[in-house]
Amino acid sequence: MDILMILFTLFGGITLSAQSSINGTFSRKVGTIETTLLTFLTGTLFLAIFIIFFGQGNILAILDVPKWQLSAAFLGTMYLLLTVMAVPRIGVIATNIAGIVGQLVIGVLIDHFGWFNSLVISLDMKRAFALLFMIIALYFIYKGNKRSSEQTDAQYLNKQKAVNR
């Protein structure tokens, strides 16, 4: 069953990257906030249908949870909004790696300090090196994207000069 969950999560990552790319392109035409709104409206409709047919929880329990837990919805919205803003500027892979690095950094802190009633898992050298390598990966991916973008811009300018002659 763990392998199945890993495969589901991998598929989720694939869909997230595809969504990031499509939303980045879409936002150039309709706007960043508008793209984010459409994503959440579509998701709301999809999940409402899913709840009707498969829901087993208690949606009204939302009124009984500690109010700080409702911040998760805001945080998810901010993640999507920031992703939609970043993709057209730094590319899909740099955006996703930056998001992953952010998740890992806060995840290590949450684990280390036991925030939000999580397990306490101390930061050790293996975890610290893993974070360091992810940050290094982000640096190289970003620099590679920037170099490729500059080369593409230079090629475009050279083509424009040739056409204007």
Nearest CA among 28, 23, 59 for reference residue 42: 23
Structure tokens at 15: 């869909």
The beta strand positions in 9-162, using DSSP E, are none
33 vs 36: CA distance, rounded Å:
5
Whole-model pTM: value is: 0.73
DSSP secondary structure string for all residues of 59-84: GGGGGTS-GGGGHHHHHHHHHHHHHH
| Burial (CB count within 10 angstroms: exposed 0-12, middle 13-18, buried 19+), residue 109 | exposed
Q: In this structure, are residues 132 and 56 in contact, taking their beta carbons and an 8 Å threshold?
A: no
Per-residue pLDDT of the chain (165 residues), as tens digits, is 788 888 888 888 888 888 988 998 899 999 999 999 999 999 999 999 999 999 998 989 999 999 999 999 899 889 999 999 999 988 888 998 999 999 999 999 999 999 988 899 999 999 999 999 999 999 999 888 887 777 776 666 677 677 676
Residue pair 83/93 in contact (Cβ under 8 Å)? The answer is: no
On whether the CB atoms of residues 104 and 123 are closer than 8 A, the answer is no
